[in-house]
Chains A and B, each alone.
Chain A
Amino acid sequence: MTVDQQDSASHVARHSSEPARPGFAPPRRKPRKQRGPRWLPGLVLVSPSLILIGVFVYGFLGWNVRVSFTNWRGLSPKYHFVGFDNYAALLRDERFRADVRNLIVFTVVFVAGAMLLGFFMAMLLDRGVRGEGFLRGVYLFPMAISFIATAIVWRWLLDNGEGQDTAGINKLLADVGLGFLRSDWHKSDSIWAISAVALPAGWALSGYVMALFLAGMRGVNETLRESARMDGASETQIFWHVVRPALRPVTFSALLIMVHISLKTFDLLYALDQGNLRIDTPSLYMWFTTFDGGFYDRGATIATVLLLGVAFVVGPYVWYSLRTERR
């Protein structure tokens, strides 16, 4: 996941760091004879990574799709073709249907929450506070903690014991006289239970969204703000009419990064409350059914469905960024 984040982050920053092209060749040297086509050295240079990506990403991806059309169960691989049987079974699978619903609820709450919070924090920092560097670090730090560690801490914070077992956030609320706000968090009976997990997830990643937005806000040319001020615009008007439109690409990137992180969230849920199906998602079901039960066919089918889901989100992003870069 961190690799993806770095990818996307560098993508955001790329526009400003276009490498300078050499304008001319040294005049004294004879133009050297070109052996082989011009693109060949470049291709040779990237070929190791192309081959590795080809085998380890696309090759295994294809293999996974193949397994999803078989009836492979247990430790002896079977490649008997069963058509779309696994997909049909998955559609009828009660646990999978609940998982998809959970994932949608989680994605909506987590992404909206992290985006709003991140945007708000960036806006405050952009106003120029004292100790901005320190605050930036504080907000970004949770991202450096592994999701497993985050989950272990939040397992206690989101404890829903009552009476003398009250602990975590509920205890904090009770101690300051806000006991009526007590919640069962992710163990509540509501179908929204999984949205409680948006708290630790948002805690971990809203700082990252803040950093993205802050970079975007700082990228807005100061002369634009100056001229708006000269025209008598208030700071709010400047924010709305000058800064906000300039943030559209950043918003788009941040949104897609968050959505695809959300779709792939595994470790946080795995460590938070194992086996609690209220916070079960397709990726957890995939893991348990494959490695506990040996249902390799079903696991591969879930993986393929998840891949399609992520492609559905990332596809438009790739298309959009290719189009804007060509311009």
Chain B
Amino acid sequence: MWKGRLAIVTILFVSLLAGLSMFTVRGASNDQLEVYSWWTGPGEEEGLAAMAKSFEGANPGVRFVNAAVSGGAGSNAKAILASRLLANDPPDSYQRHAGLELLDDVRSGKVQDLSDMYREQDWTKVFPKGLVNNLTIDGKIYAVPVNIHRANLIWYSPKALKELGLAGPPKTWAEFLQQADVIKAKGKTPLAVGPEWTQKHLMETVLLGELGADKYERLWSGGISWLSPDVTSALDVYTKVLATSDVKSAAGDWQPQLDKVFSGSAVYAVMGDWSSSYLEQSKKLAYKTDYDVAASPGTDGVYDFLSDSFTLPTGARRPDLARKWLIECGSTAGQNLFNPLKGSIPARTDADAALYHGYLEWALQQWRDPKMRIVGSLTHGVVANNAYNAEIDSALGLFVQHGDQGKFARTVEQQYRETQ
């Protein structure tokens, strides 16, 4: 009988221990702000830490809890965040790309309206109108942008261009295709690409260059069809551009994609401006002499942006602290702390320009140019909701394999209707 009793006592003891440990996790200090992001890479991690330090300094006794999840350019973080949001256990503030990536959260009531904060802080005056338009969902604003990245850029080595006898980077995709013949004749790859998402990034810049900003925006809002003649001819160009690339032996990530350009086996790469801090800090290349960059063909005067932004989730434990955090995210001081370290530019047009050098100086000038047309990125979550974006991933992956462009356009057109 002793054995039986011992077993029961053991079970009770073990369950007590298990219960206790759950209790301690729950009973953590209340004076803390949990901020969820995917900022774990070099630069961005330091930028977040600088903001956290300043937040703790301004709010004595409050602990900043960095709940960052690394990997997969945010895709791992998004999966874990989804399970927390479904369980109604949100962090106090979480990162999303500005734009329609947040649509599902808004429609499901997972985030709170911040329009009042925008009025209080006068943010609609300091953020460019094109940015505010892309942030607005169903007439309200739900996120505070910390930084701005540009997607429509083509990267190259000025020396390599000179050696090939090319006057400069192509102004249109037609010019690119002409240059591609010259480059191929010299035994080099005209354009380096990386994994599927970089091919989508390329598609977005080709569509933007060929359709122009107006039609590009109408394509995402359903104003023009994927089967219309304009889009068909833009996709023709994309197919041709892709054929000049190394898509059959595409690099495994965006860094090795750029490496091919600067090791000399390829000549151009289309990539966002996070490239500049990689090229300068990891590859020790100097702006203008070792590497240079231009707006991707046909998109001069257009700023295809993406932005990391923070939200106020419904059911945050400390909405008061979360609001303070969001105000810091939108403030000049906060943005100037974060962006020089991350290698991006502030979303605010009144931030201190003296802090931004090299490529970033040029980017900031372009961003602040009142004549600049601002449009949102597809690949980085601004102009398409998550469902539509994921369906485009599938369709594009199949298209790269079978090469049937008509089928691709029909599929995407149908998926647009099914995912709205």
A285–B393 CA distance with the chains assembled, in angstroms: 11
A265-315 interface with B by 8 A CB criterion: 273-278, 280, 285, 287-289, 291-295
Q: Assess whether A73 is interfacial by the CB under 8 Å rule.
A: yes
- Select from chain B the residue with minimum beta-carbon distance to A95: B394
A41-B248 contact given A76-B108, A292-B393, A295-B387, CB 8 Å threshold: no
Contacts of A187 in B (CB 8 A): 248-250
Shortest distance from the beta carbon of A153 to any chain B beta carbon, whole Å: 12
State the total of A-B contacts with C-beta under 8 angstroms. 111
Question: A292 CA to B264 CA in the complex, in Å?
Answer: 35
How far is it, in angstroms, between the C-alpha of A275 and the C-alpha of B401 when the chains are bound?
12
Chain B binding surface SS class:
helix
The complex places the Cα of A276 from the Cα of B7 at a distance, in Å, of 53
Interchain CB contact under 8 A, A291 and B82: yes
Out of A32, A275, A278, which one reaches B1, CB within 8 Å? Answer: A32
On whether the beta carbons of B249 and A162 are closer than 8 Å, the reply is: yes
| A161 CA / B259 CA spacing, docked (Å) | 13
B195 contacts which of A77, A162, A274 (Cβ < 8 Å)?
A: A274
Chain B residue with the shortest CB-CB distance to A73? B387
Q: Which of B53-61, B71-79, B143-151, B361-369 contacts A (4 or more CB under 8 A)?
A: B71-79
Cβ of B252 < 8 Å from any Cβ of A? yes
Q: Are B86 and A292 in contact (CB under 8 A)?
A: no
Q: At the interface, yes or no: B11 with Cβ under 8 Å from chain A?
A: yes
Provide the bound-state CA to CA distance between A292 and B246, in Å: 27
Q: Does B386 contact A (CB under 8 A)?
A: yes
Does A171 reach chain B (CB closer than 8 Å)?
no
Give chain B nearest CB distance to A276 CB in angstroms.
7
Closest chain A residue, CB of each to CB of B250: A187
Inter-subunit contact A292/B249 (CB<8 Å): no
Cross-interface CB contact of B78 among A94, A163, A291, cutoff 8 Å:
A291
- Could you tell me if A75 and B79 are in contact, using CB atoms closer than 8 angstroms? no
Report if B3 contacts A (CB, 8 A).
yes
B109 within 8 A of A: yes
The answer to whether the Cβ of A44 comes within 8 Å of any Cβ in the partner chain is: yes
**CB-CB nearest in chain B for A148:** B71
A293 touches B391 (CB 8 A): yes
Contact A74 B389 (CB under 8 A): no
Contact partners of A184 in chain B: CB under 8 A: 248-249
Q: Mark B28-62, 1 if CB is under 8 A from A, else 0.
A: 00000000000000000000000000000000000
> Once the chains bind, are A75 and B7 in contact (CB under 8 Å)?
no
A294 and B386 within 8 A (CB): yes
Is A260 interfacial (CB-CB < 8 Å)?
no
Also in contact, A77 and B72, with CB within 8 A (given A292-B78, A293-B389): no
* Complex interface: chain B residues within 8 A of A155 (CB): 252
| Interface 1/0 per residue, B255-297 and A, CB below 8 Å | 0000010011100000000000000000000000000000000
Contact yes or no, B386 A292, CB < 8 A: yes
| Inter-chain contact B196/A75, CB cutoff 8 Å | no
A152-192 contact mask (Cβ, 8 Å, vs B): 1 or 0: 00010001111111000000000000000000100101000
Within 8 A of B (CB), among A20-77: 32, 35, 41, 44-45, 48, 73-77
Q: Do B11 and A75 touch (CB < 8 A)?
A: no
The interface bits of chain B over 383-405 (1 if a CB of A lies within 8 angstroms of the residue's CB, else 0) are: 00011011101100110110000
Collect the chain A residues with CB atoms within 8 Å of residue B108's CB. 74-76
What CA separation (Å) do A75 and B81 show in the bound complex?
11
Complex contacts, B391 vs chain A, CB 8 Å:
293
Q: Select which of A41, A160, A287, A294 is within 8 A of B104 by beta carbon.
A: A294
In contact, B390 and A288 (Cβ under 8 angstroms) = yes
A98 at the A/B interface (Cβ < 8 Å)?
A: yes
Task: Report yes or no: B196 in contact with A276, Cβ–Cβ below 8 A.
Answer: yes
Quick one: CB contact mask for B178-197 with A, threshold 8 Å, 1 for yes?
00000000010000000111
Given contacts A94-B398, A95-B397, contact A75 B75 (CB under 8 A): no
* Contact of B1 with A75 in the complex, beta carbons under 8 Å: no
Task: Provide the bound-state CA to CA distance between A95 and B398, in Å.
Answer: 7
Does B4 make an interface contact (CB < 8 A)? yes
CB distance from B157 to the nearest CB of A (A): 15
Of the candidates A48, A77, A291, which one forms a contact with B79 in the assembled complex, judged by CB atoms under 8 Å apart?
A291
Give every chain B residue within 8 A of A77 (Cβ-Cβ). Answer: 86
Nearest-Cβ distance from residue B142 to partner chain A, whole angstroms: 13
Residues of chain B contacted by A165 (CB below 8 angstroms): 246, 249, 260, 265
Give CA–CA (A32, B397) in the complex, Å.
Answer: 72
Please tell me if B224 contacts chain A, counting CB pairs below 8 Å: no
Task: Find out whether the CB atom of A276 lies under 8 angstroms from the CB atom of B397.
Answer: yes
Residues of chain A with a CB closer than 8 A to B264's CB: 164
Which residues in window 241-269 of A have CB below 8 A to B?
none
* Chain B: CB-nearest residue to A160: B249
Contacts of B250 in A (CB 8 A): 187, 276
B103 to chain A: closest CB distance in Å? 9
Q: Within 8 Å CB of B389, what residues of A?
A: 292-293
> A-B pairs with the 10 shortest C-beta distances?
A275-B196, A293-B390, A277-B397, A291-B79, A75-B108, A76-B108, A292-B390, A41-B4, A74-B104, A160-B249
Which residues in B have some Cβ–Cβ distance to A below 8 Å?
A: 1, 3-4, 7-8, 11, 14-15, 72, 75, 78-79, 82, 85-86, 104-105, 107-110, 187, 195-197, 246, 248-250, 252, 260, 263-265, 386-387, 389-391, 393-394, 397-398, 400-401
**26 residue pairs A–B, Cβ–Cβ below 8 Å:** A35-B1, A48-B11, A48-B15, A73-B387, A74-B108, A75-B86, A75-B105, A75-B108, A159-B249, A161-B246, A163-B265, A165-B246, A165-B249, A165-B265, A187-B248, A274-B196, A275-B397, A276-B196, A276-B397, A285-B394, A287-B79, A289-B394, A293-B389, A293-B391, A294-B82, A295-B390
